[in-house]
Amino acid sequence: MDGMIKVEYPESLANTLRLSGKDFEFEIKKTSLVKLYELGKISSGVAAQVLGVSRLDFLELLANYNVSVLGANDINDLNEDIANA
């Protein structure tokens, strides 16, 4: 069984973003999955599957949110490796 989360929000919030109700709901879903990925809580594959897109499409979507494909921890490790090189 699929889970459902109900979030109440003022209609003006969707209007501010110039989105219909359905588009606003999808935007919230996208941003939530991007943030969970960024925090290392879910994989890109899981996020892509939940959104109904390919993994490559999800990875490309990350750029719209200024989120690295490598993830925050990997970037820190990479910077440390560069500093120690």
- Domain parsing of the chain, residue ranges: 11-84
Q: For residue 58, count other CB atoms closer than 10 A to its CB.
A: 23
For residue 1, name the pLDDT band (cuts at 50, 70, 90).
Answer: low
For residue 77, name the pLDDT band (cuts at 50, 70, 90).
Answer: low
Q: What is the pTM of this model?
A: 0.77
Output the six-digit token pair for 79.
Answer: 């910077």
CB 62 within 8 A of CB 34: yes
The model's pLDDT over 6-65, given as tens digits with 9 standing for 90+, comes to: 888 888 998 999 999 899 999 999 999 999 999 999 999 999 999 999 999 999 999 999
Interatomic CA distance for residues 5 and 19, integer angstroms: 20
The answer to whether residue 76 scores a pLDDT higher than 80 is no
Output the six-digit token pair for 31.
Answer: 């941003």
The mean pLDDT value for 55-82 works out to 81
Higher pLDDT, 84 or 72: 84
